[in-house]
Structures are given as C-alpha cells and as structure tokens.
Amino acid sequence: MVVLAFETSCDETSVAVVRDGIVLSNVVSSQIKLHSEYGGVVPELAAREHLKNLLPVAKEALDRAQVSPMDVDLVACTQGPGLPTALIVGWRAAQAVAYVLSKPFLGINHHEAHLYSPWIEGTPPKARFDQFQPNVSLVVSGGHTMLVLVKAPLDHVRLGGTLDDAAGECFDKTGKMLGLPYPAGPWIDKLAKRGNPEAFRFPRPKLNDPDYDFSFSGLKTAVRYFLRDHPELAQDDAQLPDLCASVQAAIVDVLVTKTICAALSHRVQYVTASGGVTCNSALREQLQAACSRHGLRLKIAKPEFCTDNAGMIGILAEFKYLHGTLPTPLDAEVQPSMELA
C-alpha cells in the first residue's frame, strides 16, 4: 500500500511517501529562519509559507520515492493539534488530492504519530511494529510536553502533560532572556557544554509531585527574576555557559525524573522519546543513564523522525487503515485542539 502523507501543523512543511511500512521519502521544509526574526512562530506567516512550499515539497517527495500520484492508495494528513491556519493548508491540499484520486483519506493526530516515531528504524527507514514493546513515551517539543503509556500499537493512555509552557518553549523563552537567537534550545545546549550545571540553582517545578504533569512557566519566571536581580550576569559572556547549563539542568532533571517514575510505576521495560527537545544532548545522556540505572531500554526517534515530519504521519496512517480505522469524511475539518484519543 502506498500512502501520501502531509504535515503542516506548525512551522515545518512536510510530505512523505510510505509504502508497506517503509518511508520511501520524507521531505521537510523548515521555516525556522523566517520565524527567527520574530523570536517565535508567527501563525499567519507559517500558513503563507506552507501555501508557497507545499506543492514543491509534495513533488519532491513523490520524485524521491519514484512514485506517481496514480500509485497512491491512501492520503493522510495531520488533523491536529496545531496552528489552525497552518493545519488548514495541508488539510485542504490532502483532501483535494484524495478527492481527485478517489482514494481514502485519513486524518491523523500529530501527538499519536510522535508516539510511534521511535519505532521507525533502519535504512531504508521501516516501522518496526513487529518489535513493539509496551513503553512510556515522552513527547517533548516546542509545542508539547507529555508522557503517555503506550500499551500496544494504537492502545495508549495519556499520563500527564504540561499545564502551561512546553519544555521547548521554556528553552526558547529563557534563551531569549539570555539574549540568544530563536530557537534558543540548540544554543543553550551548545553553550551548556562549557558551563557548570550547579553554578545557579533554578526551581524544578512539580519534580516531587505524584502526578505526571509538568509546569515550566515558574522556571521561566524564576530566570526572569534572577536576571532582574543580577543584571550584571546577563551581560557577562563568561557567565553565559553557567547560566545555560543551570537552566538546562532544571528542565532536564524534571523531564528525566518524571519519565523514569512513570515507567517504573507502570512496570514497562521500555522508554521512548521524540520531539525536537530530544535533540538536547544533556537530556539524551541523562535519560540514557537513568534508564540504564533502572534496567529500562531507551529508544529515541532518529533525528529525521524526531522533529515534525510527514513520515511519522504516513506510517501511523497506514497502520491504522490496515487495522480497521475508517477513512475520515472529506468534509471533516481540522481540529487545532485535538486531544490524544
């Protein structure tokens, strides 16, 4: 079965071709440069950029996969959550393609697709649902931070999520206060390598609460007050690595501790992780170290499938369709606030 998948939920325009569980192509056009000028994603600009890029990206995905539109058996698209106007661009295009080709159409929950992206492995990338193991999945990016118990493919329960800012948002906003460009996450990561994570003590919100929710807005405020009270530090380049390392340590500490607690209390043997923040080197190292300490196996999505991409949408769409999920009516709308089903 050949799936043509679209993803335009935020600032990545992506189209992928999936055939029999293999990602034949996964083209991603990132808008980071465009939005960096504004210090964050501007929804209206994102939608216009998707409009401009979607057809060339789709053409490239089909060309790279050496697949003709006539070969497509299923059209899939992210239905939500995401920025409403950004979602609509991919959604309308995908609906039009499904209509013209008279092929079934499947709307996919973006978060659900992240849950299975760590199982896309090898060269060429193939979804290894046959190797699936029950796991606790950490989805952590600029838009989301959540922990999900994934009992079996298509059988999952959300354990908790952020009550305010996502972890990536916290990296980006605190980085902005430190004078770093958007998105600040990769900069903090880089600078933190030269810094002392214990130089300054920032709060670890909800670290010891018995639930699996997160809250990062307090940490952001703590950094703001800290810089207000120590303005000389923000101007001092020599202190920047220590500040970055200390902020990063607070975020990573909470993410790792909560993830391990969830995995242990739900008695799974696997932890999986995806989303842009899993590129963070301290998070990767500390999650790996904590998993090893507790006898847990860790699977982090490959970089190509970690950040937003249509490959994971196509993989999940094919699996769902083959396992009985009914097509989405062609007059269905996007669901910007879609919850994890």
Rounded to 5°, angle at Cα 310 from 307 and 313: 100
Residue 169 beta carbon to Zn ion: minimum distance, rounded to whole angstroms? 13
Binding at 85: pick from ligand KG4, Zn ion, none (beta carbon under 5-8 Å per type): none
Report if residue 275 touches ligand KG4, rule: CB under 6 A.
Answer: yes
- Residue 74 or 277 with smaller CB distance to ligand KG4: 277
Considering only the stretches 56-64, 204-212, 273-281, 333-341, report the one whose residues sit in contact with ligand KG4 under the rule CB under 6 A: 273-281
Contact status: 118 vs ligand KG4 (CB under 6 A): no
- Considering the complex, state which of residue 14 and residue 98 has its C-beta at the smaller distance from ligand KG4: 14
171 makes contact with ligand KG4 (CB under 6 A)? yes
Among the listed ranges 274-282, 296-304, 316-324, 332-340, the one in contact with ligand KG4 (CB under 6 A) is 274-282
Rounded CA separation 340/148 (Å): 9
Query: Which among ligand KG4, Zn ion, none contacts residue 107 (Cβ within 5 to 8 A by kind)?
Result: none
The residue (of 141 and 272) whose beta carbon lies closer to Zn ion is 141
* Ramachandran angles phi, psi of 230, nearest 5°: -130, 60
Q: What is the dihedral of CA 303, 20, 271, 309, to 10 degrees?
A: 30
| Among candidate residues 10, 84, 91, the one with its CA nearest the CA of residue 275 | 10
Total residues interacting with ligand KG4, rule: CB under 6 A = 19
Cβ proximity to Zn ion, 32 vs 207, nearer residue: 32
Should residue 241 be labelled a site residue for ligand KG4 when binding is judged by CB under 6 A? no
Closest separation between CB of residue 113 and Zn ion, Å? 8
The DSSP element (H or E) to which 147 belongs, if any, is: strand 145-152
What's the rounded Cα separation, in Å, for the pair 81 and 22?
25
Q: Tell me if 202 sits within 8 A of 247, measured CB to CB.
A: yes
Beta bridge partners of 147: 138, 160
Surface-to-core class of residue 323, CB atoms within 10 Å of its CB (0-12 exposed, 13-18 middle, 19+ buried): exposed
User: What is the layout of strands, in order, in the sheet containing 270-274?
Assistant: 155-161, 145-152, 135-140, 270-274, 297-300
Residue in 311, 316, 318 with CA at minimum distance from that of residue 340: 316
Query: Closest-CB residue for ligand KG4?
Result: 276
Q: Cα angle at 303 between 302 and 304, to 5 degrees?
A: 90
- Which of residues 62 and 183 has its CB atom nearest to ligand KG4 in the complex? 183
From 89-97, 183-191, 216-224, 234-242, span contacting ligand KG4 (CB under 6 A): 183-191
Cβ-based burial of 30 (10 A; exposed 0-12, middle 13-18, buried ≥19): middle
Interface residues with Zn ion (CB under 5 A)? Answer: 141, 308
**Out of 134, 153, 186, 218, the residue judged to bind ligand KG4 by CB under 6 A:** 186
Supply the minimum distance, in Å, between the C-beta of residue 139 and Zn ion: 7
Residue type, 260: I
Residues within window 296-315 making contact with ligand KG4, judged by CB under 6 A? 307-308
259 binds, among ligand KG4, Zn ion, none (CB under 5 to 8 A by kind): none
- Name the site residues for ligand KG4 (rule: CB under 6 A): 10, 141-143, 168, 171-172, 183-186, 189, 275-277, 279-280, 307-308
